Structure 1
Amino acid sequence: MKALKMYAADEEDRMGFKAQLQEQRWDDHRYYHHSLVNQSLHFVSATTFLTAYVLLFTDPALASLLAWGVAMTSRQAGHFFFEPKGYDHVNQATHVHKEEIKVGYNLFRKVVLMTLWALSPLILFASPTLFGLLPAPQGYRDVLRAVGILWLGVGGGGLLFRTVQLFFLRDVMSGLVWATKIVTDPFNDFLLYWRAPFRLLKGERMDHGTA
């Protein structure tokens, strides 16, 4: 009987996890992906991230350079420059409201994260070996690889920081769900937004299903 109750509790947790993951994904889509330019950039980002995931097992530095230099910049450019920030009539929500209830990185937190990312290579001027973690660079390629390793730490740190922060701001489940969402976003975005570039070529600019 005790084992049965434990199994039921575990099953409930799994269902709760899946439901929260679907909710976070849906809220992210309907609130922050109205522009087809933004969706197309997310498709580019997703494709690049998936490539970086494969490279991560053989060349982490190159994977990080690709993830940050192409995937993250294209992804965030879509949000900052192309996504509407006026009143959302379909969802009946102001931009301020959406920013306040954002589970992960809203635009302000993204500015902080991207600023840290952009400034982080300055550390290599003070310590080219990253405080002894890397061999002394012998040329510009070694410097780029050091930047890649550094950016890998920035990405992992940003993910871990917000996850743990959500443990205290909300609960452990919310943090774990958000972390799972972030890691699996490239797969989800690839399937969700692959049509967006073709719709742009047809002259569409907005996804009227979300805006």
Structure 2
Amino acid sequence: MNFRMFIFLAISLSCMISFTFGCVEANALGKCRVSLGEMCVYAPEGDSRNNCYASRDRICLKMSCTCKEGWILDTETGSCYTIVMQILNWNSAQSNCASLVPNATLAIVKNSHDENFIIDILWGIGTTGFWLGGSDSAVEGRWIWPDGSSVSYTDWHIYEPNNIGNQDCLKITSSNHPLPSRTNNMKWDDLDCEEELPSLCKY
């Protein structure tokens, strides 16, 4: 058995064990990467080592983690989501997410895949919207996520964000406006952070 085959089998076995027992904590995905990455350093430099790392990332994302009970797994990214129907203002909703699972925040949307997954989760739930993690309360017009990263991907409703009455927090909604373009078309809107809404948490 050559070294590359040994590494592949070892990674597969480790991840099958992880998949069998699921995540025991929120950091399980990261720990899978670290653990299998430590094994990859024994592969020869070059293609063998690169392939080992590639296999590690793919397997850990797909197989190493199931979410905490009551959370929804995105198998493409390893992220977990939960819907909180309790109505809270934005800051309270953010604190509530953090209290549910270590490292959980109001949902961060990095790309269209995240957006589409979130829409699939929330579509059809009768409400005026859900808090997401974006805010420009620190600097008007500079939207950031709870992890401090800038909001680069966006999916705003037409004419949004408009900051009417100092609206500094991000919600996703389909039906809070009478404009026909916003009906059955779930996109983003800025809102007063003190308004109370359900929310979507993510880790």
Asked if these proteins are the same fold (TM beyond 0.5), I'd say no
Q: Which has the higher helix share?
A: 1
Give the TM-score band, short-chain normalised.
Answer: under 0.3
Instruction: Provide the TM-score with structure 2 as the length reference.
Output: 0.24
Instruction: Provide the TM-score with structure 1 as the length reference.
Output: 0.24
